Amino acid sequence: MPTQSETLQFQHSERVKPGVIEFLHAENFLRQGLVTVGGKVLKNISNTQDANPIIQKISNRRLNEVISGHRPHRFSLSFSPIEPYRKYKSEYIDLPLNGSLVPFKVSRKQQKHTIIDLDYTYTSLLWPKDIFFWGDEFIVSNNLAFDKNNSVDMSVNTQLIHYHSQGKWKNGTYFEIGQRSTEGQRTFKIGSDTEINSFYGLSKIRIGYSVYNKPILPYKNLSHISFEQSKKVNKILISSQMVTYLHSSKEYDFNSFYIRGSLPVDKIDSELSLQISKRLDKNINFPFDFVRNDNSLEVALNKKMKFRNLLSEITIGLEFNKSNIDAYSFDEFQFGIIFPLVF
């Protein structure tokens, strides 16, 4: 920020106009958390020959503060000691056999329960270095997930992100590879993310394509396109999302939608959220003779706490899923702890 003496020089300088408005825009972006956008504006001021020398001096100092204040490493640890408790409505389904309905017991796949989730992210700022024409940030993230069956999921994700000069939108391309230890499943993902800020709130569009396989089994692919909209109304953050999934096996194609409201509870430093979701399959999936149609309600409470100056977040959640196919109806309880670290 400019000192008092520099502010007085602003007021008495005849060359005050070039760069002043841009500098104010940069400070506004930085206050909004748009560090890359604000930093790029400051850099443009520093490189502008006809800019006010005082403005350039302050911009250079502020630019150095932004670059030196960047924390490239982020590490988070999620711990879920209690396995989500899921109770299904029915353990049997009635299937037609020789002209009559016969009850068959449902053999359910064991729910995956991640006990420990380690996530490390490294973010490199490219815009100060002028390395790439399109990219402003290069991000590499690594994830390790350990579940109750001693299996490990490992994935590496890379992203190249470009920000619009006015902070109204950003676009990123990503590529991810993953491996699951026990099943030997390999996954390859590629896609594009776009975020747009407008009067109507924040819009997110994601297009993705993934290929995965297991030993001996053939490769399968999954494409998806999602649209998400969020806007804060008073203290309530309202968000919604629509997703279409297209699978190589057409019987697994489906659409999903949700709307969520999140309200901060300042007295206990927590956030209460309520989400209503819907899933509608596009085709009939054997052995059922009609299309799956699910409706669910989720309630969650996120509580922020400190343990010896270490910030943590505790999440407690309930989900109630009602399906027109009883085999998919369930109630679930979840509990988890997150320890985010930045260095």
pLDDT per position as a tens digit, 53-69: 888 888 999 999 999 99
What gap in Å lies between CA 238 and CA 232, rounded to an integer?
6
The percentage of the chain sitting over the pLDDT mark of 70, rounded to a whole number, equals 90
pTM given for the model: 0.79
Summarize pLDDT for 124-174 with one digit per residue, the tens: 998 888 766 678 999 999 999 998 877 888 999 999 999 887 778 999 999
Mean pLDDT for 105-131 is 85
Residue-wise pLDDT tens digits, 2-42: 555 555 454 444 444 567 888 888 888 888 888 888 998 89
Spell out the domain ranges in the chain: 4-68, 73-342
* Cα 274 to Cα 297: distance, rounded to the nearest angstrom: 7
For 200-259, give the secondary structure using H, E and C: CEEEEEEEEEEEEECCCCCCEEEEEEEEEEEEEECCEEEEEEEEEEEECCHHHCEEEEEE
pLDDT at 214: 72
Please name the residue that has the structure tokens 């024409």. 133
What is the dotted CATH code of the domain comprising 73-342?
A: 2.40.160
- Does residue 287 have a cis peptide bond before it, meaning omega lies within 30 degrees of 0? yes
The pLDDT of residue 123 is 93
